[in-house]
A and B are shown apart, each in its own frame.
Chain A
Amino acid sequence: MSGASDDRLPGVPDAGAADPDAMVDAEAADPREELSKTDHDTDLGIAMAEDAKRVSRGELSAEEYWERYDEAAEREFGDAYREAPNPSIESGDQTIADETADSLGCSVGSMDSVACELSADGDATDATGDGADGDERWGMVIDVQKCVGCDSCTVACKAENRTPPGVSYNVVMEEEHGDFPEVTRTNVPRPCMQCENPPCVQVCPVSATYKMDNGVVNVDYDRCIGCRYCMIACPYGARYFDFGENYDDEVDEAGEVTSPEYGVDRGKREGDESPVGNVRKCSFCTHRLERGEEPACVETCVGDARNMGDLNDPDSEVSEMADSSRAFQLKESEGTDPNVYYLK
């Protein structure tokens, strides 16, 4: 940064061309002061931290590091050291030699294994909690009074699922009623209804689309032949054909990242590989549900109009909303019994 005033972008205030590194140093806490707040050995802490920096600079090998500090750390921390996972050992990318790893006092297993035990414990003790426990029927409740028609659900969905041009798992149907000045407007967001009796599943000649136990209607892109019969059968227009188009003109490398739809990571979008030539639709963001997150459209909704939850649990928020007198489903006469409910 020369500080020459012509380098400045118009409208951007001159922050004084401060060296960002200096700013970081100024913010950093004094190590001795921080460590002295604990009951443990301050000198050992500082020595380990300094050597750890050396390891990352390549001046010291990880094996030497752990050999140097294994005993001291075990003496200082005792069982806490022995039972805590060491990220250098037995993780997917173990960074030290097996011999050294075996000689250490902290060989209880990898981060991964400890994390797994933790979540298993959590399930056992927290059976009534919000965490996915495998017997849900996922449902969505959309409050039409709260929807402002901003379409951010549609945008969030495209960003999350990386859908190509012409494919939009969620749309907002907008209707105006009345004449000026007595005009009202209804916005009805439309994801896939994940019907209990899905007509699309009935008609698929190769059983490529099917109902999962969690209520989501799945599409097997490796089996689908692209006959589009399901699109004809869907009363909600929720299915889209992937014509193989992409956003390369708008965004460089637009197909580099794809979404692991229905839990299958297909890598980058290439040529005529599936899902090109297949029929696609909303999956309730199965990949997000599986890791305990709400679908992108629910998370992003500015008016908090969209709710996600377990319809099998009578005490869940969505169940209570779906039972309310305001609740309705789209095209109830079709007999499809959608798992998406709306509040009038």
Chain B
Amino acid sequence: MATEHSRFEFDPGFVSDRLRVAWYAFLGAILLVGGYATWLRITQGMASTNLTSTTPWGAWVAFYIYFVGLSAGAFLVSTLANVFGVEAMHRIDRDALFAAIVSMAVALLFVWTDLGRMDRMYHPFVWRQFTSALSWEVHAYVAYIGVLVTELYFSMRYDLARVAERGSGLRARLAALLTLGRRATTEASRTTDRTWLTRAGVVGIPLAIFMVHGGTGVLFAVSKARPYWNSGLFPVIFIVSAVLSGTALVMLLYVLRTKLFDDEPVDRDLLDQLAKLLAAFVVVDVALTAIEALIAIVSFHPHVVETWQIIAFGEMSWSFWWFMVGFGWVFPLVLLSKREWRRTPWLMALAGLSVVIGIVAVRFNIVVPPQIRPVMEGLPHGSYFPSAVEWATSAGMIAVGLLLYTIGAELLPLTPLDGGDH
């Protein structure tokens, strides 16, 4: 019981003040640039992008589906602990949930920025279209964010109450506020929390898989005019790559936070488990993508074949070979191949980062190539690379996400106060 006391020296956040200052300065600089670019985007309208009527969807849509996927993936990892009772995963479930919430916020920022009429972002809640996947998606996102917040609340409330009771200062006051008045720290209250945590998770799993990310895949798959997307396997690959990126993100955050915030040794068994999971998802993702490509190419459908040619040999093929195949699949698989490497924190952080970056290319390669070849012979071919405004606004929105996450991680008990073995 010697550690009983130390448990309530609740002080999450950066161990090194120097690192904290450097990190916030870095984010601040990106936010300034991103803010200026956002101002340009608002004043100049969509003319500030490199989009055209041939290629109407670009970087913002790619990042939007990327962050929706990241969120769905991170959430599903959290359910391993909250719904399926994988005890070892309890250490990371809140972190995963919080990352999922932040990812969703960033995704919605991207989709908002992408609207031709940003001032009408509320219209989908006023007018609807029963047959529109996008109309359904908007509502699914709201419901999903509701589930995520509910999950995080029930997962964290017990520790929030303990911090509010025994801590002091800003964190304690914030914790008291976030308990929403349920301040009991009894075992009974904890059991209630866990019951509701499981219930919300049971609702959340199909919502995340079929509606949120599967639905985002459906959004593309229903476009019969774009045969490359128009396949039944497409939404499934969407979900798999989402889970892949989410697992990679959670693994990366786990290593970084344990090292930089908690200053604790990384749990190597947990790391090994996450790494094996990640390797399995990479293999499934590669296999399904290969099946999809095989079916498409053997069909000899000119649009699909040409789209694959654009992906593999076009002017942007470097993003496919280096980022999608290299960083997304091959490099992480190599790192995940040896037991010893899987138990080495910095290598696993690198593997996670590699996948997280690689999946960005996956998203770009989903969105852009089918819009290069025109829908009819005789119409102009497209060509797209994001403009400086598109890159800078994207960096800014990602920085908003990193800032939200860092502030949350500095203030909230995202790591269970009793080490996760509850």
Contacts and interface: CB of A to CB of B under 8 A. Distances in A.
Interface of A: 166-167, 171, 173-175, 188, 190, 199, 201-208, 223-229, 231-237, 239-245, 272, 274, 276-279, 330-331, 334-335
Nearest to A280: B53
Contacts of B128: 205-207
Contacts of B219: 229
Residue from B52, B116, B129 having most chain A Cβ neighbours under 10 A: B116
Contact of B127 (A167, A223, A235, A236): A223
Given A203-B222, A205-B134, 7 more contacts: A173-B379, A208-B123, A226-B115, A227-B114, A235-B375, A244-B46, A330-B376
Majority SS at the chain A contact face: loop
B116 A226 contact: yes
A242 B123 CA distance: 19
A231 B378 contact: no
Contact of B378 (A174, A225, A240): A174
Contact of B53 (A166, A272, A330, A331): A166
A231 B371 CA distance: 10
B223 interface: yes
Interface in B119-146: 120-121, 123-124, 126-129, 131-135, 137-138
A22 to B, nearest CB: 55
Interface string B360-402: 0000000000010011111100000000000000000000000
B47 interface: yes
B366 to A, nearest CB: 12
A334 B117 contact: no
9 contacts: A174-B378, A203-B131, A205-B135, A224-B120, A225-B116, A225-B124, A228-B57, A233-B225, A330-B376
Given A227-B114, A244-B45, A279-B116, A207 B375 contact: no
Contacts of A234: 225, 375
A207 B127 contact: yes
A277 B117 contact: yes
Given A204-B132, A205-B135, A237-B376, A224 B117 contact: yes
A243 B45 contact: yes
A28 to B, nearest CB: 55
B46 A236 contact: no
A279 B121 CA distance: 16
A230 B383 CA distance: 20
Given A235-B375, A272-B45, A205 B129 contact: yes
Interface in B75-131: 114-117, 120-121, 123-124, 126-129, 131
A234 to B, nearest CB: 6
A59 to B, nearest CB: 55
B45 A276 contact: yes
A237 B381 CA distance: 11
Contact of B224 (A239, A276, A334): A334
Interface of B: 44-47, 51-54, 56-57, 114-117, 120-121, 123-124, 126-129, 131-135, 137-138, 219, 222-226, 371, 374-379
B119 to A, nearest CB: 9
Nearest to A172: B378
B53 A231 contact: yes
Nearest to A186: B378
Nearest to B135: A205
Contacts of A199: 223-225
A226 B117 contact: yes
B53 A241 contact: yes
Nearest to A204: B129
A98 to B, nearest CB: 46
B122 to A, nearest CB: 9
A208 B120 CA distance: 12
B375 A241 contact: no
A206 B53 contact: no
A225 B115 contact: yes
Contact of A205 (B53, B138, B376): B138
Nearest to B55: A231
Contacts of A242: 116
Contacts of A204: 129, 132
Contacts of A331: 376
A202 B132 contact: yes
Q: Which of A201, A202, A205 has the most CB of B within 10 A?
A: A205
B223 A175 contact: no
A168 B121 CA distance: 27
A227 B138 CA distance: 12
Nearest to A274: B117
B284 to A, nearest CB: 28
A235 B222 CA distance: 12
A78 to B, nearest CB: 59
Q: What 10 pairs across the A-B complex have the smallest Cβ distances?
A: A226-B116, A173-B378, A277-B116, A235-B225, A205-B135, A205-B134, A228-B56, A206-B127, A240-B53, A202-B131
A243 to B, nearest CB: 5
B56 A205 contact: no
B39 to A, nearest CB: 14
Given A175-B377, A224-B117, A237-B379, A229 B53 contact: no
Given A190-B376, A244-B45, A244-B46, A235 B224 contact: yes
Contacts of B374: 237
B134 A229 contact: yes
A232 B84 CA distance: 39
A227 B53 CA distance: 12
A199 B223 CA distance: 8
Nearest to B136: A205
Contact of A232 (B120, B121, B223): B223
Contacts of A188: 378
A215 B18 CA distance: 67
Contacts of B127: 206-208, 223
Nearest to B124: A205
Contacts of B121: 225
B117 to A, nearest CB: 4
Nearest to B116: A226
A227 B376 contact: no
Nearest to A276: B45
A237 B54 contact: yes
Contacts of A166: 52-53
Contacts of B379: 171, 173, 190, 237
Nearest to A235: B225
